[in-house]
Structure 1
Amino acid sequence: MARGREGEVRTLVLGKYELGRMLGQGSFAKVYYARDLRDGQSVAIKIMLTPWFKRGFVPPVPSSPATPRKWDDDNAAALIDGSEDSSGNISPRTCNAFQLISSMSSGFDLSGLFESEQKAATVFTSRAPAATVFHKLESVGKALRYNTTRGKGWRIRMEAKADGANGRLAVTAEVFEVAADVTVVEFAHDGGDALDFNKFCAEDVRPGLADIVWAWQGDVPALPGAVV
């Protein structure tokens, strides 16, 4: 909490945004005027009021075959904001916290945070550290008997050992750090049949990740009090 002019109490969101007056209210959220403490820019922030879950979410099947994103290590660095320190450790790609907050205006749909050609990708959030999430993804891929390899940055490629309807399924998982306690993971279709990819995201990978997932795309995570 912070105290503004004339003793008005202000609330800080993620330590970066100062909430002001309420601009509007819907069934599940309130929209507040806010100020970015870093540059003073005025923004609008939506805060969820109650837990609300869309159960049974299944990633949509494209109406036409999608062209998988090519796994290309030579060009991967251009897609990643992560950086390598002097000891060789790589930091996860970061997402702007306000992008995450704003994206929740449509049922926690995070698709707007990522490249347009990856709309079929499935996204989930975690409260675990990015490094923990990364190693969990790697272990789950191996448990599913996929050939698992690390790419540049915090990316993992999982490839099926047997051919499917349209070749071998390949999935790329990339870890993004939003804040110290908020991590976002995106699964992208990298090869094989689109139906196999959707099954992988909706059924195969979820049980193994259950202990680290905060919410899947299409769900709104529950927090004590308000959800941001």
Structure 2
Amino acid sequence: MEKKGTILMQRYELGRLLGQGTFAKVYHARNLKSGQSVAIKIIDKEKVLRGGLIDQIKREISVMRLVRHPNVVQLYEVMASKTKIYFAMEFVKGGELFNKVARGKLKEDAARKYFQQLIGAVDYCHSRGVYHRDIKPENLLLDEFGNLKISDFGLSALAESRRQDGLLHTTCGTPAYVAPEVINKKGYDGAKADIWSSGVVLFVLLAGYLPFNEQNLMEMYKKITRGEFKCPQWFPPEARKLLSRILNPCPFTRINMATLMENSWFKKGFKANVAAPKPLQIKGDVSSISDVEVALDEGSSVSNSSIESGRPPTRTNSFNAFDIISLSQGFDLSGLFENDMNERPPTRFTTTKPASTIVSKFEEIAEMERFKVMKKDGMVKLQGSKQGRKGQLGIDAEIFEVTPSFFVVEVKKTAGDTLEYKQFYNKDMKPCLKDIVWAWEGNEQQQQQQQQQQPQPPQPQLQIHNR
């Protein structure tokens, strides 16, 4: 058991216990070098393994690494020992927004300010491919200046968690704040679900009580699925109208984030806060996010010697006949389901180079452009360091093995602005990849030229054609 005054990893002095749960405790702590106050979350690795929460911890690390916003509680460092995982996080002094609301409703300007900060941060999370899924006043903290900070990403989801239908399917969240489509268990859009929960928070800020609140849970769910709520008479007319569009039980006609942020009531006095905090550092026995994941795997631990021993062989995903058919012209059904015509579809190329060479090429691109790199099981993730119009660029390159000497690589944008990605892809990425590309998807002319210059590789029965 950690005691007050304990020196942790030769970097932090532990202070008072701030809170605890089944698998973790949170302490106030002081950085020995800078004197900065932080919150240290200490996670018991054995309890996490027994409780089957490995993926949740991995996801929380990945999400907090991706989301660097002034209105989100920041993760400063990740450290690890053989038995514990340590998160060094921003210490938020003002407590929960819930405590402020518990004393009664807020004035319109105060409620709007908190709602603006919440929506600004949630919109940024969505631009990074992150959906919180448990937005409520208890997870919204206030700093000493009265600024809102979103916390607790333990139930969050990444865009890559979506199934083939493009929807999330895990039912989670707090009953009074959860969107009706989540309750219905037929799949849901994480962004639309977060908007609903944010609308419930706005109602609570203005009213001082919940819009859906029944002792009988089934009765409450019925009201939520029907969108049955009543605004008190003191609500401003514009706020009433906005809430009716946010708390629309049909996710397809519910207001989206872009339209919400253009709403006249919302925009009053709104100042976007996009200054990026300091980047995440990894300390102690851990050298990267993927090493933290290894440390969490059952029966394994990470030490300096294992990190220095060299790279493990590059693992790839395999392509079967169905995967190849799904990429062929005439079998691509994505147009039936994808609504955003401005989104750039994934780009694919084939190559005869080994997986390790493919990964090294993407590492070269990352180094030249100052991107961060994360590698795992045939996937290379690139994260830009510059703040663009919609945050930092996020790019995934996934490597598929068709035969032992023939690979398909799929490159896609996972976060950031589509136009900025297109410019980066055409100007920087594509020229750098030309040394390893055998053929770009649908580029038959290039394929013929390559055939004249090098031996033909083993091929699948179906060629990859342009969508």
TM-score for the superposition, normalised by structure 1: 0.52
Q: Is the Cα contact below 8 Å between 2:344 and 2:413 reproduced in 1? A: no
What CA RMSD, in Å, does the superposition of the two structures yield over aligned residues? 4.0
Q: Mapping of 1:16-95 within 5 angstroms?
A: 69=129, 89=313, 91-95=315-319
Alignment match, 2:388:
164
Moved more, 169-178 or 97-106: 97-106
Return the structure number with greater strand share: 1
Q: Is the Cα contact below 8 Å between 1:70 and 1:190 reproduced in 2? A: no
Larger radius of gyration: 2
SS in structure 2 opposite 1:174?
strand
Deviations 1:130-181 (A, max 9, x none): 222122212222122212222x312111111111111111111111111122
Aligned partners of 2:398 and 2:371: how far apart in 1? Answer: 16
The residue identity in structure 1 corresponding to 2:359 is: F
Please, which of 366, 369, 383 is the counterpart of residue 144 of structure 1? Answer: 369
Q: Is the Cα contact below 8 Å between 2:373 and 2:382 reproduced in 1? A: yes
Q: Percent identity?
A: 27
**Residues 103 and 192 from structure 1, CA distance in 2 versus in 1: closer, same or farther, beyond 3 angstroms?**
closer
| CA apart distance, 1:200 | 2.5
SS in structure 1 opposite 2:438?
strand
Higher RCO, 1 vs 2 (CA within 8 Å, ≥6 residues apart): 1
1:200 aligns with 2:416: no
Aligned partners of 1:158 and 1:145: how far apart in 2? Answer: 10
Deviations 1:89-116 (A, max 9, x none): 452001125754784557xx9x779xx8
**Residues 102 and 74 from structure 1, CA distance in 2 versus in 1: closer, same or farther, beyond 3 angstroms?**
closer
| CA apart distance, 1:203 | 2.5
Aligned partners of 1:102 and 1:208: how far apart in 2? Answer: 28
**Residues 186 and 67 from structure 1, CA distance in 2 versus in 1: closer, same or farther, beyond 3 angstroms?**
farther
Q: Is the Cα contact below 8 Å between 2:129 and 2:158 reproduced in 1? A: no
1:123 aligns with 2:348: yes
**Residues 94 and 145 from structure 1, CA distance in 2 versus in 1: closer, same or farther, beyond 3 angstroms?**
same
| CA apart distance, 1:199 | 2.1
Note the residue ranges of structure 2 that are not aligned, 5 or more in a row: 1-125, 132-155, 164-310
TM-score for the superposition, normalised by structure 2: 0.27
SS in structure 1 opposite 2:412?
strand
Aligned partners of 1:67 and 1:214: how far apart in 2? Answer: 33
1:212 aligns with 2:436: yes
1:180 aligns with 2:401: no
| CA apart distance, 1:213 | 0.6
Q: Is the Cα contact below 8 Å between 2:374 and 2:381 reproduced in 1? A: yes
Deviations 1:66-121 (A, max 9, x none): 97655999997999xxxxxxx96452001125754784557xx9x779xx879711
Note the residue ranges of structure 1 that are not aligned, 5 or more in a row: 1-65, 80-86
Matched positions, count: 150
The residue identity in structure 2 corresponding to 1:130 is: A
The residue identity in structure 1 corresponding to 2:391 is: G
Aligned partners of 2:158 and 2:416: how far apart in 1? Answer: 21
